[in-house]
Amino acid sequence: MRELFTAAATGDADALSGVASLFSIIAILPAAAIFIVNQALQNVQLREDKYRYLNDKYNDYLVRALEHPLFNLEHGSGLDLKTLEDNERCQLFILYELYTSMIEAAFRAYKHAWTSSRRTQWQGWIDYLDRYMTRPDYRRFLSLVLFRADLDDALSRDQERQVVGLSEYDTEFEIFLLERYKRSLRLAYRDTIPNSPTEPVREKG
């Protein structure tokens, strides 16, 4: 380095060019550092925006669910769709569409979360979905509206690939929904068998 500056002081053209390049690099480093920091801050802001958006969707869904106590969405075990009027069934399916959209937003926000606290929160969303999966009317909604196929029949024939990609939802999210759907069917079948072993409360999402 000293030789470079010494040569530049004597007017050596190559040395002068090298010094100029060196100063250019030194000048770029602070700008590069600022750019990297700004990008990191922007990524953090984008993630926080996702969580705020999800929180808004959750609050909106709860308000709408409470406006329809007939469906008992947050605490009930499901409804017989045949007992509902056409307009009531339509309202229920609209609410289920809102609910599923909210779960997809949670899937996008939490599924690949970096921190352990965020991953723990994602497990809470999985538990929330599994609770709805115990409702036959929600599973029926998924068959009729989202996947547009008889899921019970497709899964029993090992033809689940044929029902993926038909909805407006992300394919990865559809596959995730099918996995939770299959889990709910396994649990429902297990509950019909006396003295059947209990499945662990939590499992990987």
Per-residue pLDDT tens over the stretch 40-74: 444 445 567 778 889 999 999 999 999 999 999 98
> Which pair of tokens denotes residue 39?
């990008």
Q: Is residue 142 part of a domain?
A: yes
Alpha helices for the chain (secondary structure H): 2-9, 13-66, 86-110, 116-133, 136-141, 151-156, 171-191
Q: Is residue 49 part of a domain?
A: no
- What residues make up the domain containing 88? 68-191
Residue with the bigger pLDDT between 142 and 161: it is 142
Distances (CA, A) of 65 to 68, 78, 97, 158: 5, 14, 12, 34
pLDDT tens digits, 90-102: 999 999 999 999 9
Q: Is residue 152 part of a domain?
A: yes
The predicted structure's pLDDT at residue 103:
95
If you average pLDDT over residues 168-189, what whole number do you get? 84
Q: Is residue 132 part of a domain?
A: yes
- Average model confidence (pLDDT) across the chain: 75
The predicted structure's pLDDT at residue 144:
82
**Domains contained in the chain, number:** 1
Q: Is residue 180 part of a domain?
A: yes
Work out the pLDDT band at 133, boundaries 50, 70, 90. Answer: very high
CA atoms within 13 A on the CB side of 99: 26
If you average pLDDT over residues 156-183, what whole number do you get? 74
DSSP state of 192: T
Q: Is residue 61 part of a domain?
A: no
Q: Per-residue pLDDT for 34 more than 70?
A: no
Q: Is residue 200 part of a domain?
A: no
The predicted structure's pLDDT at residue 196:
47
Q: Per-residue pLDDT for 22 more than 90?
A: no
Q: Is residue 9 part of a domain?
A: no
